Structure 1
C-alpha cells in the first residue's frame, strides 16, 4: 500500500470519527424519543411510541420556558448587534496604541466566567431598583455576547476599502448616507452571522441567566431543574423538533441562495447577449462593457 493510500484512508477514518463524535449523540437522543421507556435511553428498548410528543404538547412549563428563551434571545440580538457593530467601527477608526487597549477592554467579558457576570450584573442593577427578570437577563447576556458580534464585524472591516467612503464624501454625500449606502451593505453578512451567533449564545446560556432571571424560567433552566427531579423523553422530543426546524431552515436558505445565484447568472447572460447584439449591430463594443468580443463589420 502506497503512502498516498494510507493518507487517504487516514483522512477518511478521521472524518468518520469526527462526524460520528458530532452527530452520534444527536442520533441517540432522537431515537430515545420513540422509546417506550420513561427514561431518555435506547437501551433497553421497551417499544416504539409517539406518546412523548403528546406529553411535550401538554407540558405548559416547558413551552413557557421556550417562549421566555425566544424573547430573551430576540432582545439580545436587538441589543448586541448594534453595540457590537459600533464597537467594531470604533476600533477600526482608532490609532494602533489606542486600538490595542480598547480591544483588550472590549474582549475582556469573553474571558470572564458567566457566574461572575451574572452576580455582578444583579448587584449593580439592584442599586437602580432593577430586579431580576427578562430585562436584566438581556442586559447581562449582552455584556459578553456583544463581543462576539464585534469580532465578526471587525474581521469584515479588515477587508473594507476606505477609499469608497472617501470618494462618496468627496462627491457630496453625508456621513449618514455613506454609512447607509456603503458601509452597512458591506457589513450586512457579518451582521447577519453575528445576529445568529448572538441568538444561539443567548438561547443556550445557563450560568449567567441563573442569577439574573428572577422568577422567569428559560428553557435551559427548566431542563436543568428537570434533570434533578427526573427528566422524561419529552425533552428529547423538543430537541428533535428543534433539530428538524434547524435543518429545514438551512435547506430553505440554501434553496434561496441558489435561486439568487441563478438569477444573477441569468442577468449576466442577458447583459452579455445584449453586448454581443450591440457589438454586431454597430461594429463597436458598448462603452463600459468588459466583454472581450470581436468587432463586427
Structure 2
C-alpha cells in the first residue's frame, strides 16, 4: 500500500464522516417518523406507520402556529423586500465617503441579538400606543404586526445585501441612456431596473420568508398571546420530543427538496432555451453571410 492510497482512503473517510455528520440526524429523524413506537426512536422497530402524520395534522395548536408563521412570512416579505431594495438603491446614489457610515447603520440590525430586537420592538410600540391612548386590541399591541415589524428590522438588511450583490453588475450607462432619450426616473426604474433586479427580488423574497419562518429569538417576545410554528415547537420540546415532531421535520425536508428540484429543473430549462436561442441566432447569421456571399 502506497502513501497515495493511504491519503485517498483518509480523504474518503473524512468525506463519509462529514456527510454522516450532516445527514445522519436527518436520516434518523426520518426513520422515527414512521416507527410505531410512541417515543421517537430508531430501535426497537415496532412496525411501519403513518399515524404520526395524521396526529400532526390533527394538532390544532401546531396547525394554528403554522398558519400564523405563513402569514407572518408573507408580511415580512412584503415589508422587507421593498425596504431592502430602497436601501440598496440609496447605497448606489449617496456620496462615496458617506457609504461606509450608511452601510454600518443599515447593517447594524443584523449584528444585534434577536432578543434585543424583540424587546425593543415591544417597548417601542407599547410607548407609541400609550402616547396615542390606543386600546390593547389596536395595531400597537397586535402580536402578528409586532412580529412582522420586529423581524423586518434585520431581514430587510439581508435583502439589501442581496440587491447590492446584483447591483454591482448593473451597467449605469443603460440608465443614463434612457434618461437622455427622455424617459422619466419612474420609467427607468420599472423598465430597466426592475427587470434587471428580478432574480434578486425573487432571491430576497425567498430568503426573507425562510428567515422569518424559522426565527425564534425575536418572535418569542413580539408574538405575545399568539403563537408561531417555532414557538409551538419550542414549547413541545420542553415537554419532551414526540414522533409527530419527526413527521413535521420529514414534511419540511420533502417540501424543501421538492422546491429545490423544481427550481433546478426550471433553471436548466431556461439555460437550454438560451443555448438553443444562441445557436439559432448563430445559424441565422451564418445563413445570412452565406446568402450575401461573405
Q: Verify same fold: TM over 0.5.
A: yes
Residue 271 of structure 1 deviates from its aligned partner by: 2.1
- Structure 2 match to 1:203: 213
Corresponding residue for 2:231? 221
Equivalent of residue 180 in structure 2, options 151, 170, 194: 170
Give yes or no for contact 1:72–1:134 (8 Å, CA) kept in 2.
Answer: yes
Counterpart CA distance in 2 for 1:250 and 1:261 is 16
Aligned-pair CA distance for 1:7: 5.5
Distance 2:3 2:172 in 1: 49
How far apart, in 1, do the equivalents of 2:58 and 2:164 lie? 45
User: Which residue matches 2:25?
Assistant: 25
1:153 equivalent to 2:182? Answer: no
Deviation at 1:205, TM superposition (A): 0.7
**Counterparts of 1:151 and 1:257 in 2: how far apart (Å)?**
23
Partner Cα separation in structure 1 for residue 201 and residue 13 of structure 2: 36
Are the structure 2 counterparts of residues 132 and 41 from structure 1 closer, same or farther at C-alpha, using a change threshold of 3 Å? farther
**1:46 matches 2:46:** yes
Correspondence list, 1:213-252, <5 A: 213-252=223-262
Q: 2: CA distance between counterparts of 1:78 and 1:169?
A: 29
| Number of positions where the alignment pairs a residue of Structure 1 with one of Structure 2 | 284
Distance 1:9 1:68, change over 3 A: same
Does the CA contact (< 8 Å) of 1:122 and 1:132 recur in 2? no
- Secondary structure at the residue paired with 2:128? coil
Indicate yes or no: 2:153 matched with 1:143: yes
Give 1:92's aligned residue. Answer: 92
- Contact kept in structure 2, 1:115 and 1:207, CA below 8 Å: yes
* Superposition misfits of 4+ residues, deviation over 4 angstroms: 1-11
Question: 2:2, 2:184 → 1: CA distance?
Answer: 65
CA drift at 1:181: 2.1
Instruction: Give the structure-1-normalised TM-score.
Output: 0.89
Which residue does the alignment assign to 1:286? none
Shift of 1:238: 1.3
The 5 A counterparts of 1:244-283 are: 244-283=254-293
Residue 282 of structure 1 and its aligned partner are, at CA, apart by: 2.4
CA distance in 2, matches of 1:96, 1:266: 42
Q: Tell me which moved more, 12-21 or 78-87.
A: 12-21
Which deviates more from structure 2 when the two are superposed, residues 44-53 or residues 167-176? 44-53
User: Relative contact order, CA 8 A, sep 6+: which one is greater?
Assistant: 2
Alpha-carbon distance between aligned partners in 2 of 1:281 and 1:40, rounded to the nearest angstrom: 73
The answer to whether 1:74 aligns with 2:74 is yes
Q: CA deviation at 1:63?
A: 1.1
What is the CA deviation profile of residues 58-90 of structure 1, one whole-angstrom value per residue up to 9, with x for unaligned ones? 112111111110110111011111101111111
SS of 2:162's equivalent? helix
Worse-superposed segment, 273-282 or 211-220: 273-282
**CA distance in structure 1 between the aligned counterparts of 2:241 and 2:72, rounded to whole angstroms:** 24
Q: What is the CA–CA distance in structure 1 between the aligned matches of 2:5 and 2:200, rounded to whole Å?
A: 40
Q: Is the 8 A contact 1:118 1:211 kept in 2?
A: yes
Between the aligned partners of 1:279 and 1:216, the Cα distance in structure 2 is 69
